[in-house]
Amino acid sequence: MTTTPTRTVPPYRSALHPARAGFGRLLRAEWTKFWTVRAWLLVLAIGAVVTVVVCQLGASGSSVSGGPPIVLGPGGEVVNDSFRFTHRALTGDGTVTARVTGLKDASGKGLGPWAKAGIIVKSSLKPGSPYAAVMATPGHGVRMQWNFTHDKAGPSSDPAEAPQWLRLQRLGGKLTGYASVDGRKWTRLGAVRLDGLPRTVQVGLFLAAPVNEVVHRSFGGTSEVAGSGQATGTFDHLTLRGSSTDSGWSATDVGAPDPDAPLGNSLPGASTVSPTGTYTLTGQGDIAPDENSPDMVQMSFQGVFVGLIFMVALGTLFVTTEYKRGLIRTTFTATPSRTKVLAAKATVIGLITFSTGLLSTAIGFTVAQKTLRSNGFKPPEFPDLSLLENPASRAVVGSAVLLSLVAVLALSLGVVLRSSAGTIATVVVLVILPQILSFALPLPVAQWLLRATPAAAFAIQQGLTYYPQVQHNCLPESGCYPLTPYHGLAVLAAYAAAAFLLAVWTLRRRDA
């Protein structure tokens, strides 16, 4: 019997370098695969259009009018600048020294942690003018602050318990702050330079007491507890070394609103001096950035919240469709390295959603800003925001990154779950549901959700700067997030990376 020899066909070997050209070939294949499926292109286009439209609709539903006069600081930011001031003119260089002997609530409602009693060198009595101050606070010890947005910590000392000596020295445009517990040994707090400081400035004692509002939210509703907005500070050993044209100390309520105006609810301050040289100041107000204005940047990105759903669907369908039709076996047969296939898919879907998101958010932000301007959000309270400058550029690019990371997250979970409906539902629960629940849950729980879930990434759209030297309630419904913009985006990136690694592990252990 004659046997026919069996011919062995050698397996196909690609001539491309497996590490370089091989991955490039995969990228081209996945890119081509995406652009040849019309349904995916339609989802991408609808998502981009919906993002722009909802940005516009959200802006058209917001308006502002009236309000108290706006005070701008040296940097053009909106500030609060109202306090009780016992002052004298200082011409040229000089030093002002005083001891804070007490700081207490003047109304019996509780003293806020950022009530301030100290000494100040101010360019003029005009609200918003440059200044440097050294102060004692009940909740944050001794501080040196200047030009509203700058703050530096000093010794931790409560003026209600122990006297604190304070000193400010002026040499030209340079202001140096000092603190002491005994008036002999001084600790240098810092030195700052105030640009444009005139030769004659106002120096002396000041007292400010912002209203201490604390918001509590539980399942039964929201309550607000307002502490005192008025405090009394006592000082002694007030001395001024330098040339002054004033014969004595004067008292002024800087920035006090007109009590006859419709919004005027300011209580007049008081200043007294005893025969022994003890000065008592009673007043209210604050010297700090104003954080109560609406966030015009965040208000321009409401469409991202809706457009995100389309990117979730796109990232999911990009892989689950192949599982549903069995085409994933063909892909893995042609390219046995499943990790490379997944990396190519993630790269392609990430680049496509980022590019589309960047275009749609840039257009959405531009049209929303135009609408907000027409609805009363105008300078100087709401300055013009350039698309190419922070915080607008950070929010636009960050929102595009957010959309792409969510698409990669959906792609990776699609590999794990192999179900379109299950994957979309899971990603929506992870990213969107925490944002919605944060509006109703108790604040500690809501803030935990916005720290620990991918919803933290929406912090990248914040346009307002929240300064640590300002007491504020970080409410999700006001657009405030407990994490900084980049830290919030990093949380989503960590989830996407973890999901990708889980998908790699699943591919290696499970049949296609």
Helix then strand then coil, % of the chain, to nearest 5: 40, 25, 35
Q: Which helix (H) or strand (E) holds 203?
A: strand 200-208
pLDDT in tens, the chain (512 residues): 455 554 544 443 444 444 444 788 888 888 988 999 899 999 999 999 999 999 999 999 888 776 677 899 998 899 999 999 999 999 999 999 999 999 988 766 678 889 999 999 999 999 999 999 999 998 899 999 999 999 999 876 555 456 899 999 999 999 999 999 989 999 999 999 999 899 999 999 999 998 877 776 776 566 665 655 789 999 999 999 999 988 899 999 998 764 444 334 467 889 999 999 999 999 989 999 998 888 899 999 999 999 999 999 999 999 998 888 877 777 777 767 788 889 999 999 999 999 999 999 999 999 999 999 998 888 888 888 888 889 999 999 999 999 999 999 999 999 999 999 999 999 999 999 999 999 888 888 999 999 999 999 999 999 988 898 888 778 888 888 999 999 999 999 999 999 999 999 998 887 65
- pLDDT at position 63 is 80
CA distances (Å), origin 380, targets 115, 253, 364, 455, 470: 28, 24, 23, 32, 21
- Bridge pairing between strands 83-105 and 231-243: antiparallel
Domain segments of the chain as ranges: 21-64+294-509, 79-289
Q: Enter the pTM of the model.
A: 0.85
For residue 58, give the amino acid letter.
Answer: G
pLDDT for 254-309, tens place per residue? 987 644 443 344 678 899 999 999 999 999 899 999 988 888 999 999 999 999 99
CA distance between the termini of the chain: 44
DSSP string, 371-433: HHHHTT--TTTS----TTSTTHHHHHHHHHHHHHHHHHHHHHHHHHH--HHHHHHHHHHHHTH
So what's the pLDDT on residue 223?
Answer: 60
Main-chain dihedrals φ then ψ at residue 151, nearest 5 degrees: -150, 140
Alpha-carbon Rg for the chain, nearest whole angstrom, is 31
3-state secondary structure of 438: coil
Q: Mark residue 148 as left, alpha or beta (left: phi above 0; alpha: psi -120 to 50; beta: remaining).
A: left
pLDDT in the model for residue 247: 87
In 3D space, the residue among 184, 169, 171, 168 whose CA is nearest the CA of residue 135 turns out to be 168
The answer to whether 438 and 179 have CB atoms below 8 angstroms apart is no
Cβ(237)–Cβ(165) under 8 Å?
Answer: yes
Q: Residue 219's pLDDT is what?
A: 66
Long-range contacts of 396-401 (CB under 8 A, 24+ apart): 396/358, 396/361, 396/362, 396/365, 397/358, 398/460, 398/461, 398/485, 398/489, 399/301, 399/304, 399/357, 399/361, 399/460, 399/461, 400/354, 400/355, 400/357, 400/358, 400/361, 401/354, 401/357, 401/460, 401/489
pLDDT at 305: 93
Q: Which CATH class is domain 79-289?
A: mainly beta
Bridge partner residues of 254 (DSSP): 83
Q: What is the pLDDT, as a whole number, of residue 22?
A: 79
Q: pLDDT tens digit string along 77-96?
A: 999 999 999 999 999 999 99
Which three-class secondary structure state does DSSP give residue 63? coil
Instruction: Please give the pLDDT value at position 510.
Output: 74
